[in-house]
Structure 1
Amino acid sequence: MLQQRKHQPNTNFLIFCATSVNEAGLCVVIPCSFTTADGFTPKHIVWYKCEASQKFCSDADIIFHSNKNTDKKAQSGFEGRVSRLEPDVSQNNCSIIINDLKESDSGSYRLGVTGELNGRQDRFTFIPRVNVSVKVLNQKPRVMIPTLTEGQQATLTCTAPGLCSGSVPEITWTWRGAGGSESYITGNSVDFKTENLTDATQRHISTLTFNPSAEQHNTTVTCKIHFTGETTTEEASTLKVNCEFFYRIFSCSIIGRFCLSASYFELSTGNS
């Protein structure tokens, strides 16, 4: 049976951020490292979410356990959302990432380490805590619009906020015309890609390729991001379409009543 100890004078737990304020739908990284008593060999790390008033967190409070073979399961609401950044516990790195944040994830988090002390199974629960606060999502997607010219193919780019490795968000494009009604842009090509920046961070990007028309000048295109649950965010941008007009000019050299030589040339002008 494991003994549970609070941290001893010769153990140490370092949290790089004691309080973290985050937004729903995104993720939070809790960076930390630890040392334990002499003679203790760490085997697994355990993270708990429990009330700050509790002296010890119980197995029912577990949100992550690095031992995949244990019968101590994470709380159902955290399953599949928590992962560690360093899989080798001997590096004394206890950093984790929590993806697909919910406002209910706000609270107090605590670290435990299981292992062997003098040949016996033992467990340390560290006193310092991390306070995580999750607020309503305020970040907007980033929309990039190139110069638009009527009849010339153009590609708009929308990048979702956050660099998280959780659930892939759904990205949609809509267009609002002069009448105010919202619709999907016709005759377009939409593409989606995920860029893996690190083992724990990703960037999600959607592109919209279409042929701008004069009727889309001064209309609004909106990129909408749908995260897990009901979390959404959007960014609207006004389209400015350059329209080119061609003028044919007739030039004639006249002597008396006769046109001796004639030429045509075209000028183009644009508006935006």
Structure 2
Amino acid sequence: MDYYLAFILLAHLWSNTDCQGIPGYELKVNKTVDVQRGLCVRVPCTFIVPLNIRLTKGIAGIWFHFIEGSGQHVAFRVNNKHYSNGRFYLIGDVTRGDCSFIIEGAMNEDAGSYGFRIVDEETKLLYPDVLPNVQVTEFTEKPTISFARLVEGKEVTLTCTSPGRCRKVTPEISWIGKVSNRRIINYEITRDDGSRSFHSNITFTPGKSDNNSPLYCTVTLKTGVSTTEKQSLSVEYSPSINITIEGVVTSDTSSVTVKDGDTITMRCSVDSNPKASITWYKEDAVVNWTRSFQTISLTLTNVTPSDAGRFLCSAENEHGVINKTFHIIHHGEESKSKITGDNTAIAAAVGGVISLVLILVVGAVLFIYFRKKRQQNINGNLKDIPINDSDAIYCSPEFTTPDTYPSEHSPPKNLKSSAGDDSVYNEDVQYASVNFSKQKSNQVVPEDMEIEYSEIRKTRRV
């Protein structure tokens, strides 16, 4: 059956309403149907006929939209063929008494009352007792964002689902947020009844800086309207610690110096998600403790030397443990420590100088000792060497010289003076000869004789 014949049939059916109000005919559908502008709605609907009426496979179901007192058909179904105005669809199997319909991408002009009619071989009936009324409202429905546990450093996927289930309308889904390295995949799921749902997955690795940051999912319809859902990210991470001191002025983040009578408060502030258990220790003993809190204080009143020591703040949650140490130094102990340190330094310096002097002295003594020892050894060796008298050299006036000179030492004969005469050199020129004879002298030198030594020089004649 083509659409032209369908129109003729519908007009004929509208003019014949013989069976209205006959018992046994009943329509079950919501009297009021709300649909947001641009969205889709599925309306369940069933109808029954008297038991003596048998519906054939050629039965036709028609939905009318009543506008200004007249009915305009918007959809019908016969022999599994459909007709629609583009937004209203009869999706039920009329042969089984199903008159369900859907409205897709609803517009303001779709509002109003609707009527249902059946036409079969022997039955022509408009169900006038139930006329569902469609109301088109503003688009306020939000998309939904799935829940997932977010842990720092662990990849996670969140899903945004568009509102409505449409056959023909395909929305656009987008994400807005500061999460980095994200991957987005959009997809749809088709149901058995032909309706579709639309989804978008965003995959990312959250960090501590993402905690409490907003993430938006926006759905935009073809009609131009859009809707947005916001989710604040709750990222879980291990604790971090910050220690502050009240009551004294200090720029050191690891220690503070106090004096008798001071009052100080140490605050251990923890940043973690979930909240951490915090414990203050002095040395190894617990002095303050709390569960699931972010700041814990430890106050020391009227400080005495016994309050000095090492303090440790420890924070723990299911993702980790962190410790931070803080030292309290009593002023007396600091001065004593400083004096002791100065004295130690001076003592070390003096000790170094003394050690150096001792090393030098010992070295000098050893040097002198070994030098004397060496000289003694040399003298001892000389005493053991026999001296031959023939090796001795003497220079004494008592020594006698031989009468003759060796040829190479004899004075030249027939020497003449510079005046040209035959005279020899002046008498003031003296010659001496030393004879190194190996023969032992027979002359004995008395022990009391004083030996004189003369220096003999050779003087040139002027």
Report if TM-score (shorter chain) is over 0.5: yes
Partner of 1:208: 202
**Rounded Cα–Cα distance in structure 2 between residues aligned with 1:113 and 1:244:** 68
1:32 and 2:46 equivalent?
yes
Look up the equivalent residue of 2:65 and give its one-letter code: K
**Rounded Cα–Cα distance in structure 2 between residues aligned with 1:193 and 1:69:** 29
Deviation at 1:148, TM superposition (A): 2.2
Identify which of 108, 116, 130 aligns with 1:111. 116
Q: CA RMSD in A?
A: 3.3
Q: Go from structure 1 to structure 2 and tell me whether the alpha carbon gap of 1:68 and 1:224 turns closer, same or farther (over 3 Å shift).
A: farther
**Rounded Cα–Cα distance in structure 1 between residues aligned with 2:235 and 2:147:** 11
Deviation at 1:106, TM superposition (A): 1.4
Look up the equivalent residue of 2:66 and give its one-letter code: C
Matched position secondary structure for 1:104: helix
Partner of 2:35: 22
Deviation at 1:131, TM superposition (A): 0.7
Identify which of 80, 85, 89 aligns with 1:82. 89
Per chain length, whose mean CA-contact separation is higher, i.e. which structure has more relative contact order (CA < 8 Å, sep 6+)?
A: 1
**Rounded Cα–Cα distance in structure 2 between residues aligned with 1:81 and 1:152:** 46
Q: After superposition, what is the alpha-carbon deviation per residue over 1:217-246, rounded to whole angstroms, capped at 9, x for unaligned? A: 332110111233123211111123334479
Q: After superposition, what is the alpha-carbon deviation per residue over 1:130-176, rounded to whole angstroms, capped at 9, x for unaligned? A: 1111211222222124232333211112122234444232211111x
Q: Go from structure 1 to structure 2 and tell me whether the alpha carbon gap of 1:231 and 1:198 turns closer, same or farther (over 3 Å shift).
A: farther
Unaligned runs of 5+ in 2: 1-8, 242-318, 323-462
Count of equivalent residues: 228
Matched position secondary structure for 2:121: strand
Look up the equivalent residue of 2:41 and give its one-letter code: C
Q: How does 1:117-266 map to 2 (within 5 A)?
A: 117=122, 123-128=124-129, 129-175=131-177, 186-244=180-238
Q: After superposition, what is the alpha-carbon deviation per residue over 1:92-125, rounded to whole angstroms, capped at 9, x for unaligned? A: 22222222223332111011222323xxxx7433
User: Counting strand residues as a fraction of each chain, which structure ranks higher?
Assistant: 1
Q: Go from structure 1 to structure 2 and tell me whether the alpha carbon gap of 1:242 and 1:91 turns closer, same or farther (over 3 Å shift).
A: closer
Look up the equivalent residue of 1:124 and give its one-letter code: L
Identity %: 21
Q: TM-score, structure 2 length as denominator?
A: 0.43
User: Counting helix residues as a fraction of each chain, which structure ranks higher?
Assistant: 2
Say if 1:145 and 1:155, in contact at 8 Å, map to a contact too: no
**Rounded Cα–Cα distance in structure 1 between residues aligned with 2:201 and 2:154:** 16
Identify which of 35, 39, 63 aligns with 1:47. 63
Q: After superposition, what is the alpha-carbon deviation per residue over 1:57-109, rounded to whole angstroms, capped at 9, x for unaligned? A: 2xxx1110214899x964xxx326413122xx322222222222233321110
Unaligned runs of 5+ in 1: 178-184, 248-266
